[in-house]
Structure 1
Amino acid sequence: MSGVVEELRHVCALGGYESVLAIERAVPIIHAGPGCAAKIWSTLGLQNGCQGTGYIGGHSIPCTNVGEKEVIFGGVDKLHRVISNSFKVLDADLYVVLTGCTSDIVGDYVGEIVDEFREEGKPIVYAETGGFKGSNFLGHQLIIDAIIDQYLKQSDEIEEGLVNVWATVPYQDTFWAGNFEVIEKLLNSIGVKANIIFGHGKGINTLNNIPKAQYNLIISPWVGLENVIHLKEKFGTEYFQYPVLPIGPKETAKFLRAVGNFMGIDNNIIENEIERQEDRYFYYLERAADVLLETRLLPKHFITVADSAYSLALSKFLINDLGLLPKKQFITEGVPKEYEKQVKQHFKGFYNDIVPEIEFTNDGGKVNEYLRNSNFRTKPLILGSGWDRVISKEIKGYQLSTSTPISDRMILSRSYLGYEGAMRLIEDIYSVILQDFQ
């Protein structure tokens, strides 16, 4: 074995700083070597759906740019100056200091510096996110834990019906902004007050409301689970996990019923909303029935190359709603060993007892080898990243970029979740297919 991993689809733990940028008026302060933050921004911000920079992101992010001097003598003095100057020139509600590999290896006492500013009443926290610790999925978790432990305070009042919503990792999930908006609308439609932490209009107030919530809702197979467990331990907030991002009528109805049942919401409210949404969804689907069914353009088989949340969500929709057959599903984010069995369990309960074959790998070379050596009777549908465009052309498949990095599309508020999102997904799949006839 060569030991070479091709076509990586995530970044290092320091990349969790993108989760800070997803909180309005929050600023990351990077204590790392020159170029670390810029490379991550280029990967997740520019080359992944052209998502941009956030409030103070990209080349505006404060950074200590540690070098040989700081490696030898330590970088805490430089960090102190950068933090102090950041408070003078950057208007923000929360500052999050993040460490890179160099400062973590050297052992700079970042916590002491941050505590000094916090004692002065500054809204600042820190997380040790040296890239060698893992991916930005871990970085995201470490940052949320840092906010829980160092910023949030116990609330004397619990607001009935208020639910904190946790789902995918911002910026790593190219569709994160639109997804959170759709989730909020879905929950609001059945009377749930959704406290969304990330995205437009979501900033310090939503953070401050976290301890006031009646429940935490996590929509993920595993990402964020340790954070909601931590919130339960600190604030006593019960949590409910729904492992599947809801795409399409079947999964979205199950999602609404599950949340409603957990919260004790009147069943009539839930069923009326489902009926209303399905009526509109099937109106448009019936209009396109001739194209969808009689022309037989839809591929028979599909492959996903994505993180577990998207691989599971897309598989549920394509099998249960569109009737496609799964080939191998590649899960790319490096699921921790302790969660692999749990993730596999979620890939059950499909229509006709179909159980997709899954493989945990972040090596694009293995994906390419599988696709080259598979005998597809018809053109397969490949739902992956921009990396998969080349192999898709090679095997004459249909490819749609739905996971990081998305280098061939601009994503603003687009989402594939819910009823409306499912129609967008069908549109995008058929647009790829129809281009083959041009």
Structure 2
Amino acid sequence: MVLKLAYWMYEGTALSGIARVTGSMKKIHTVIHGPQGDSYINVMFSMLERFHELPPFTLSAIGRREMAKGSRARLVETVLRVDEEQKPDVIVITPTCSSTLLQEDLDAVAHTLQARTNATLIVPKVNAFRDLEHYAMDQFLTQMVATFAEEQSKSERFSVNIIGPSYLGFHQIHDLEEIKKTLQDLGIEINLVVPYGASVEALRNITKAHLNISLYQEYGKSVCDYLKERFGMDYLSITPLGIRQTGRFLEEIGEKAGIDVHAYIRRNLSPASLISRCVNSVDALSSLYGKRAVVFGDYSHAVGVTYLLREIGIQVEWAGTYMKAMESSFKQELQGQAKEVFVCDDFQKISNKIKETQPDIVFGTQMERHSSARHDFPCVVISSPAHILNFPLHASPILGYSGITRILDNINGTIKLGLEEHLVNMFGEDSQEEEVQIAIAEVAASTEKKELSAGASEEIKWTPDALNTLKQIPFFVRGKVQRNTETYAREKGHKEITLEVIYAAKAHFEK
């Protein structure tokens, strides 16, 4: 067996996945049977989700004494204390790598203690060593639904269950609010959201809905498969990210619900809509169209962002995901959408690939953000793993039509600001007096025309293409760029400044 040291992982452990499910639900308490370090779950919830109270996790610590004499007594004491003090509906006893190494039979402990607790005791059926975050979420969420779901009569009006949104997900709580608003606009009721905000009682009523919606491809589909097989519930599994995917999502819901959604789609994509105004503007055509991008992230966000970039005219050099279990589906989904589609979970290989590609902009995880900063490329974080900056306090969805406008703003600002910063670093900043003079020249059309015409020099002429490129450079560094380019041209004996000369000057001053 070959062991690989993983000091940067794209996915969390099985414990992380289970905690995301239990921490998102009501009156469920998690007992983590592991070493002191596994209390990091509390820190993650407190820091990223900004909980004002202690998250519903209690550590049953495995220390040196437990390693030597066994940890069963400590676990029993912890479970009974949590049941008495917290009074939850469910206590989830979570295995860890340490409890697995000790060969602790957690199912036997739960079976023995069940008669002594008011709460229902559940042990997740996952492998703490082998399973990663999203797979563990998928399996445990299905286990929870299978434990409590009951046959119920359907609601009078057409209603849906939203499967997927949880704490610690990438903008998932914001996504939930956007999808809720969309469904409300269409006149569709929401029966239940799982796991976010769900309780044991709510899970018993999950079958009242007419349709299940699996928002993300990484987990939730197994729940829908179970409910379809056990209770005959239909479901759809489309992540509404980007113009095409959002349209498909709405059309399929409309077909299931028997309503016409096309008027809603046309309204959001009309020439007067924010999306059309941005995508079809002269500014977007000049700053976005034809740019070269690379995309990397989890399955849902990498696929959705790749489609969106194609829709707004950005060329995707390659698209990748770290979800190796979904390799076949990922490649099939993005066939023809990028020059290269692949699966890789080694961040160093991705970092090197970004450097080799030299894209105009990178779309990735927090790891690609670090790599992009090291290689001096602008980057938009579009997937977990993410930084605390990607857990904003304000509403910031990724999905739906509002999500599209947010991503467009982020793309536009990142490319432009990245260009301005790059030019300032390359050519240096003008003095304050020079900036004022350039700003005045920018306001006065006649002065600007004089400044730019023929490069403001009788000796050196600027070709139309070169002059147009100069006009697109931000005003606060334009004067410096012009002077440095002309200086370089004179030194090299050029009588005319072309695009080639501009690029040569750029390379010269970057040394």
Cα distance in 1 for partners of 2:100, 2:86 equals 25
Instruction: Report the equivalent of 1:29.
Output: 31
Aligned-partner Cα distance in 2 for 1:419–1:324: 19
Residue 308 of structure 2 corresponds to 317
> Structure 2 CA distance, aligned partners of 1:203 and 1:346?
35
Match of 2:349 among 366, 374, 381: 366
| 1:183 alignment partner in structure 2 | 179
- Does the 8 Å contact 2:165/2:194 carry over to 1? no
Higher relative contact order (CA 8 A, sep 6+): 1
Of residues 214, 218, 235 in structure 2, which corresponds to 1:240? 235
The answer for the alignment partner of 2:91 in structure 1 is 95
Distance 1:206 1:380, change over 3 A: farther
Deviations 1:195-250 (A, max 9, x none): 21244x544453332233333222333532223222334x323332324x212433
TM-score by length of 2: 0.73
Residue pairs, 1:30-429, within 5 angstroms: 30-38=32-40, 40=41, 42=43, 46=47, 50-53=48-51, 56-57=54-55, 61-90=57-86, 92-116=88-112, 118-119=114-115, 120-150=117-147, 152-159=148-155, 161-167=158-164, 170-171=167-168, 173-194=169-190, 195-199=192-196, 201-233=197-229, 235-243=230-238, 245-261=239-255, 263-267=256-260, 270-279=261-270, 282-283=273-274, 285-286=276-277, 289-290=280-281, 292-297=283-288, 300-320=291-311, 322-332=312-322, 334-336=323-325, 339-348=326-335, 354-374=337-357, 376=358, 379-407=359-387, 409=389, 410-412=391-393, 413-429=395-411
CA distance in 2, matches of 1:32, 1:2: 22
* Cα deviations by residue, 1:124-152 (Å, 9 ceiling, x for unpaired): 422144531221112212321331343x0
Structure 2 residue matching 1:397: 3-state secondary structure: coil
Against the structure 1 CA distance between its residues 41 and 210, is the aligned structure 2 distance closer, same or farther, given a 3 Å change threshold? same
Structure-2 change in CA distance of 1:188 and 1:202 (3 Å):
farther
Q: Which residue of 2 aligns with 1:8?
A: 9
Greater Rg over alpha carbons, structure: 2
Say whether the 8 Å CA contact 1:27–1:96 is kept in structure 2. Answer: yes
Q: CA deviation at 1:3?
A: 4.4
1:93 Cα deviation after fit? 4.1
Structure 2 contact 92–123 (Cα < 8 Å) conserved: yes
Q: Percent identity?
A: 16
Q: 1:327 to 1:168 in 2, by over 3 A?
A: farther
Tell me if the contact between 1:99 and 1:127 (Cα under 8 Å) persists in the aligned partners.
yes
| Corresponding residue of 2:413 | 431
> Using a 3 Å threshold, how does the CA distance of structure 1 residues 41 and 433 change in structure 2: closer, same or farther?
farther
Structure 1 alignment gaps of length 5 or more = none
Shift, 1:367, TM fit: 0.4
CA 1:54–1:318: 2 relative to 1, 3 Å: farther
Distance in 2 between the 1:92 and 1:299 partners?
55
For the 8 Å contact 1:214–1:237, the answer to whether it is kept is: no
User: Displacement of 1:62 after TM fit?
Assistant: 0.6
Judge conservation of contact 1:27–1:95 (CA < 8 Å) in 2: yes
Deviation at residue 314 of structure 1 after TM alignment: 0.7
- The residue identity in structure 1 corresponding to 2:249 is F
Query: Whose helix proportion is higher, 1 or 2?
Result: 2
Is the Cα–Cα contact under 8 Å of residues 269 and 276 in structure 2 kept in the other structure?
no
Contact 1:221–1:346, Cα closer than 8 Å, also in 2: no
TM-score normalised over the length of structure 1: 0.84
Partner letter of residue 143 of structure 2? A
Counterparts in 2 of 1:407 and 1:230: CA distance versus 1, 3 Å: same
* CA gap 1:217/1:277 in 2 versus in 1, 3 angstroms: same
Aligned mates of 1:146, 1:185 — CA distance in 2: 29
CA-atom RMSD in angstroms: 2.9
Aligned counterparts of 1:187 and 1:118: Cα–Cα separation in 2? 41
Task: Check the 8 A contact 1:25/1:55 in 2, yes or no.
Answer: no
Structure 1 residues 395, 145: closer, same or farther in 2, change over 3 A?
Answer: same
Describe the shift of the 1:355–1:284 C-alpha distance in structure 2 as closer, same or farther (beyond 3 A).
closer
Q: Distance in 2 between matches of 1:2 and 1:115?
A: 35
Secondary structure at the aligned position of 2:295 is classed as strand
Matched residue SS, 1:329: strand
* Distance apart, 1:186 and its partner CA: 2.2
More displaced 10-residue stretch of structure 1: 304-313 or 408-417: 408-417
Alpha-carbon distance in structure 1 between the residues aligned to 2:254 and 2:205: 21
Of residues 360-369 and 116-125 in structure 1, the stretch that sits farther from structure 2 once superposed is 116-125
Superposed displacement of residue 301, structure 1: 1.6
2:60 is paired with a residue whose SS is coil
